[in-house]
Chains A and B, each alone.
Chain A
Amino acid sequence: MTARETGTRLLLAAAIALLAGLPFVGVPQFTITLLTEALIFAVWAMSLDLLVGYAGLVTFGHAAAFGLASYAAGYFAREVTADFFVALLVAEAVVGLVALTTGFVVTRVSGVAFAIISLCIAQVLFQVAVAWRSVTQGMDGLVGVPLPSIFGVTLGTGTPFYLLTLACMVVTYLALARLVDSPFGRTLHAIRTSEDRAAAIGINVRLHKWIAFVISWAIAGLGGTLMVFMKAGTTPMSLHWAESGNVLVMAIFGGIGTLLGPVVGAISFVFLRDEFTTRFTAWQLAFGLVFVVVVLAFPAGLAGIFSRAWNALWRARS
């Protein structure tokens, strides 16, 4: 391990320790709530990054996985048991099934067609959530989801739930970091660079895209499950394409193709939105402007800027 890698790991460990310590050093409850939301979005944005940044599949329908898991976990928790892991398992089963079937079909295409078809699939789920009133309560949304419990202990809102979310986020990060560094991850990289060349050297492009799609949906499902417990319910808007757009903004703003980027992007998104909406009437204007500038001038996002600085620092020392 080089000194630089050790340095990066120490920095990450310090960041996690800092996040875990925040509730115990007098950080206001409101900030913890915002941070919980940000970390859930971080899980979701990382799952999107696997598709967009590593497999090269830009999706405008990633809310589908998130919202579907919210509905499945929330409905199950309300009707059967509020055990977090059981609800998560149920949500993953539902999301996995939908991802396996729709993924099998949509991974036939890529580029703009993939973006639009994924949008269509998400809108189908959105419309079903609106129309299937006996289960989803239509536009009113699913309400009355109980607090989650882990091994029989009910988890209170605030700090306990925040720590659960942080743990989920860290596990997701580590698992994805391992995945993108594996031969599978390298193969995805080859596919993103050139689908034709990857196919020419014998890679089963569709199979790899399909697996990436299912994994991405499964991780988004974890985010959706956390979110339904945090908000004690969900609405069809969680499946709306505006949400798919938001998560895309987070991932790209933070920097796709790096796992830390989406985390940084999600945290900045939540806090900037809070800041803008309370102080400034046209937050969409400011946010749209920042997003356009990032896409045009800094395709590597915030993380790209950071990592360039970090690398430069280590180069300067050696």
Chain B
Amino acid sequence: MDLNFFLSSALNGVVYGAFLLLTSLGLSLVFGLGRVVNFAHGALYALGGYAVIAIINQTGAGYWTALLLAPLAVVPIAIAIERATIHPIRNRSDVYTLLVTFGMSFMLIGAIEYVWGTGTTLLKPPAPFEGTVEIFGNQYPLYRLLAAGVSLAVSGGVFAFIQWTPIGLRIRAITDDPGMAEAIGVNTKWLLTLVFGAAAGLAAFAGALGAPIFAVHPEMGMGILLDSFLAVILGGLGNLPGSAVGAMVVALTKSIGGGYIADWSVAVLFAVVAIALIFRPTGVFGRGRVA
């Protein structure tokens, strides 16, 4: 195998990793905050992809406007889901939220199929980014690089928000110790609703941003959901920097490993994650929460 092949696989990995980062951050935040394993995250990501297309077709808006509006359309749906299904069963065992969000994922995918059909749509990259640039001797789509940059920038924004704002401080307090946070007056329930909505917004934004790269179809969120789980577990549940590293590890393993040992790379990845979760339940860096 020549070096160019390796480098372009790596580049594809970084692009995918940037998207994975956006979806993993949301999953990790919601888990850290409420121990909610959100199986509907992938469906919310898909909803973002459909929302951006619907907004462009219905209102004639440009791609960039639609990209900003799509998450705003998904956030209220997610908040309604949290209030209606997760909020009432917060006092039951953690696995119930897993089951409920799994059912919600079924419903959302079903709703997408009902409204938009089961077909696959591929959005054209917006002008002037539809061209390619030459990297490592190959023509590489310009939009992919741009989208990866945008994903990384937004993820950086999320980090900054969690690190430096009062709400971010509360989120970190709850992730550290929910009982203590509540005792000093943090409203954990409303914050969970808000963060669940924000996480869905991030997923939808990723789905919308990825619409010109990955095909938009009802089940498009399933693959990225599973990969995000892997990333979040590797990095430690609730540990945001860990999730970021996890996202890159998963994406690079898939793209580089996939080029050399085909589908075996993913088998190895799942095995590694299963072993990691058993022997390092707080993630490879040992700073996350125990599932």
In residues 106-120 of chain B, which contact A (Cβ within 8 Å)?
A: 106-111, 113-114
- Of listed B109, B110, B273, residue having the most chain A CB within 10 A: B110
A contact residues around B177 at 8 Å (CB): none
- Quick one: which of B37, B94, B104 contacts A288, CB cutoff 8 A? B104
* Residue A267 is within 8 A (CB to CB) of chain B in the complex: no
Residue of B nearest to A113 (CB): B291
- Quick one: which of B37, B85, B106, B267 contacts A127, CB cutoff 8 A? B267
* Residue B98 is within 8 A (CB to CB) of chain A in the complex: yes
Residue of A nearest to B261 (CB): A131
A112 with B267: in contact, given A120-B273, A284-B113, A296-B85 (CB under 8 Å)? no
Is A295 a contact partner of B107 (Cβ separation < 8 A)?
no
Is A123 a contact partner of B85 (Cβ separation < 8 A)?
no
- Of listed A112, A131, A242, residue having the most chain B CB within 10 A: A112
* Residue A286 is within 8 A (CB to CB) of chain B in the complex: yes
A54 to chain B, nearest CB (A): 15
Is B229 a contact partner of A116 (Cβ separation < 8 A)?
yes
Is A283 a contact partner of B99 (Cβ separation < 8 A)?
no
In residues 77-132 of chain B, which contact A (Cβ within 8 Å)?
A: 85, 88-89, 93-96, 98-100, 102-111, 113-114
A309 to B256, CA, bound (A): 58
A130 to B264, CA, bound (A): 8
* Residue B263 is within 8 A (CB to CB) of chain A in the complex: yes
* Residue A285 is within 8 A (CB to CB) of chain B in the complex: yes
Residue of B nearest to A286 (CB): B110
**Cβ contacts A44-87/B at 8 Å (1 or 0 each):** 00000000000000101000000000000000000000000000
In residues 85-131 of chain A, which contact B (Cβ within 8 Å)?
A: 105-106, 108-109, 111-113, 115-117, 119-121, 123-124, 127-128, 130-131
Is B110 a contact partner of A120 (Cβ separation < 8 A)?
no
Is A124 a contact partner of B271 (Cβ separation < 8 A)?
yes
B contact residues around A112 at 8 Å (CB): 35, 37, 94-95, 98, 291
In residues 234-291 of chain B, which contact A (Cβ within 8 Å)?
A: 262-264, 266-267, 270-271, 273-275, 277-278, 281, 290-291
A contact residues around B98 at 8 Å (CB): 58, 60, 112, 115
A contact residues around B290 at 8 Å (CB): 113
A124 to B274, CA, bound (A): 9
Is B114 a contact partner of A115 (Cβ separation < 8 A)?
no
Is A281 a contact partner of B114 (Cβ separation < 8 A)?
yes
Is B267 a contact partner of A288 (Cβ separation < 8 A)?
no
* Residue B233 is within 8 A (CB to CB) of chain A in the complex: yes
* Residue A199 is within 8 A (CB to CB) of chain B in the complex: no
- Quick one: which of A120, A128, A131, A295 contacts B99, CB cutoff 8 A? A295
A37 to B291, CA, bound (A): 35
* Residue A292 is within 8 A (CB to CB) of chain B in the complex: yes
Residue of B nearest to A122 (CB): B270
* Residue A162 is within 8 A (CB to CB) of chain B in the complex: no
A295 to B101, CA, bound (A): 10
A contact residues around B114 at 8 Å (CB): 281-282, 285
Is B106 a contact partner of A116 (Cβ separation < 8 A)?
no
A288 with B107: in contact, given A111-B95, A115-B98, A296-B88 (CB under 8 Å)? yes
Is A282 a contact partner of B263 (Cβ separation < 8 A)?
no
Is B99 a contact partner of A58 (Cβ separation < 8 A)?
yes
A72 to B96, CA, bound (A): 33
Residue of B nearest to A291 (CB): B103
A contact residues around B96 at 8 Å (CB): 295, 299
In residues 28-76 of chain B, which contact A (Cβ within 8 Å)?
A: 35, 37
B contact residues around A289 at 8 Å (CB): 103, 107
* Residue B226 is within 8 A (CB to CB) of chain A in the complex: yes
Is A282 a contact partner of B110 (Cβ separation < 8 A)?
yes
Residue of B nearest to A245 (CB): B102
B contact residues around A271 at 8 Å (CB): none
A118 to B236, CA, bound (A): 18
B contact residues around A120 at 8 Å (CB): 230, 270-271, 273-274, 277
B55 to chain A, nearest CB (A): 22
A283 with B291: in contact, given A116-B277, A127-B266, A241-B226 (CB under 8 Å)? no
* Residue A248 is within 8 A (CB to CB) of chain B in the complex: yes
The 10 A-B pairs of least Cβ separation, nearest first, read A285-B110, A288-B106, A284-B110, A288-B107, A282-B114, A127-B267, A131-B263, A113-B291, A120-B274, A292-B103
Interchain Cβ contacts under 8 Å between A and B, 23 examples: A105-B274, A108-B278, A112-B95, A113-B277, A113-B278, A116-B277, A120-B230, A120-B270, A123-B267, A123-B270, A127-B266, A242-B222, A248-B99, A282-B113, A284-B106, A285-B106, A288-B103, A288-B105, A288-B106, A288-B107, A292-B107, A295-B99, A296-B85
Known contacts A127-B266, A128-B267, A299-B96; 13 further A-B pairs (Cβ under 8 A)? A105-B274, A108-B278, A109-B278, A111-B93, A116-B37, A116-B291, A120-B230, A131-B264, A248-B99, A285-B106, A285-B114, A295-B89, A296-B88
